[in-house]
Amino acid sequence: MTTTQSLAVRRAIGWLTRLKRTRRRWLVPAAVLLGVLAGGGYGLLKSPEYAATSYVVVVPTAKSDPAGAMGLAQAYGRVATDIAVVGDAQVAAGVPAATLRANVQAVTSPDAPMIAVTARAPEAATAAGMADSVARALVQKGTHTETSTGVKVLQFTRAALPTSPVSPSASLSALVGGCAGGLLGGLALLVRPRYAPRGRRTGYGSVPGPVAQQEALV
């Protein structure tokens, strides 16, 4: 190999080494940029989601006590999204019972016999209507069982029409996507395989060939 060819080979190896280092250096910024684009695009394309909450209260009668009302409020909260309740609410809500079960959540309070019925929907009016419909259906179930339970189930407040969506904005989605991309890029740098130089891949010395062994014996 001539000197010119050897110099060209060395330059090519150096260029490839610098390219490899540059790729590693730009891995995390590229991952952050990709995450920002993906998160921002998701925030722009995803339809906004609104949430509305209606409150139901369980009131003890002369046949019951406050402790019993607390326990029954927990029980009513557990069955608020069952098919027996949402089946009666689907007509007033204008959506199928499966949609109500998937997008309505009932939460009970540990300090008061009250149930919060929260519904989520792409439109504010639909979310409020879903929450009120499930709350009224729960009140009807409580009225049917009032004689046996000794408590009254009443709608405490109707759901207010939400004025702003609860889904994350495009800027927040872009920020979350950028953070996730940076984290994944950093992890990729940490777990990438590192190869030792060709002469240092093992901790053992090189084994001499037959000619070297014969010379050593002589």
pLDDT at 28: 64
pLDDT at 155: 92
Q: Which value, in Å, is the radius of gyration of the alpha carbons in the chain? A: 34
The mean pLDDT value for 193-213 works out to: 50
Reply yes or no on whether the pLDDT at 92 is more than 50.
yes
Helix 124-144 and helix 83-93: axis angle, to 10°? Answer: 130
**Beta-carbon-side half-sphere exposure of residue 160 (alpha carbons within 13 Å):** 3
- Within a 10 A sphere around the Cβ of 134, how many other Cβ atoms? 30
pTM: 0.61
pLDDT at 197: 52
Give the closest residue to 169 by CA, choosing from 43, 51, 39, 50: 43
Evaluate whether 166 touches 120 at the Cβ level (below 8 Å). yes
pLDDT digits (tens, 9 = 90+) for 20-44: 555 566 666 766 667 766 766 766 6
pLDDT digits (tens, 9 = 90+) for 165-201: 876 666 666 667 767 766 666 666 666 555 555 545 4
Structure tokens at 116: 């919060």
Evaluate whether 134 touches 85 at the Cβ level (below 8 Å). yes
pLDDT tier at 12, thresholds 50, 70, 90: low
